Structure 1
Amino acid sequence: MNRFGWVKSALAAAAVVACAVPALADETGLAAIHAQQRERGNKTCFVDHYHYGSSSGRATKKAAIASAIKSWADFTDFEYGSDWAHWGLASSKTVQCSGEGSSWGCDVNARPCRKGR
């Protein structure tokens, strides 16, 4: 029997744990710097920290809204992780658009939320 046979088992166990941890949550760790509260709908939201997104030059108002929401979600994902980047879960949302014809732009803002824990 090899004196270091346990090393192989320990490395295998460490690999399983390392792979499982990212699957549990996709957070950057920065969310902890903001006050958070549980809200209706089984979600946890930042108390007073908002994220913004914007768009311009879109062919329709619908496309401008979608682009602004994507901007909001992309930055929220970058800063806090995808757990926080769901517009559908966000709280205190505002959407303001302007334009006419085939040139629309929108600004959105909301407090990021994640499913409650």
Structure 2
Amino acid sequence: MRCARVAIIAISTLSVSAGAFADDTGFAYSHDLRKEGGRLCMSDHYHSGSGSGRSKAAAQASAARSWADFTNFEYGSAWARWSVARSKSVRYTKDASGWSADVDARPCRG
């Protein structure tokens, strides 16, 4: 019984620790960082995303999700909010099925 209790405590501790680390992988700190508007941002490192949709707004939203998904994968969710990213750029292309968008931005922690 005592071993089972120790195992449960160990597993609980590992899952809480893993959750805390999942939010910030630590890789962002290999880039030059600076404070901007109260947030910590990458100085000159950009991430890109692309997406498509029936409207420009839908294409941009899809591209922003793509940007956030990759940023989350690499740096963690603390860095993956398109709404707080800096130096954003969006390029649109119209085709027969709707719109495509390509986005670039510097991730910020926030």
What TM-score, normalized to structure 2?
0.80
The number of equivalent residue pairs is 108
Could you tell me which amino acid in structure 2 is paired with residue 32 of structure 1?
Y
Deviation of 1:102 (Å): 4.0
1:70 Cα deviation from its structure 2 partner: 0.6
Structure 1: gaps spanning 5 or more residues: none
Letter in 2 for 1:44: L
Alignment partner for residue 93 of structure 1, among 82, 88, 91? 88
Structure 2: distance between partners of 1:11 and 1:100: 57
Larger gyration radius, structure 1 or structure 2 = 1
Query: Once the two structures are superposed, what CA deviation does each residue of 1:3-53 show, in whole Å capped at 9, x if it has no partner?
Result: xx9x9998787666544444545111211110111111x210001000000
What corresponds to 2:46 in structure 1? 50
The residue aligned with 1:28 is: 25
TM-score (norm 1): 0.76
User: What amino acid sits opposite 1:80 in the alignment?
Assistant: Y
Percent of pairs with identical residues: 44
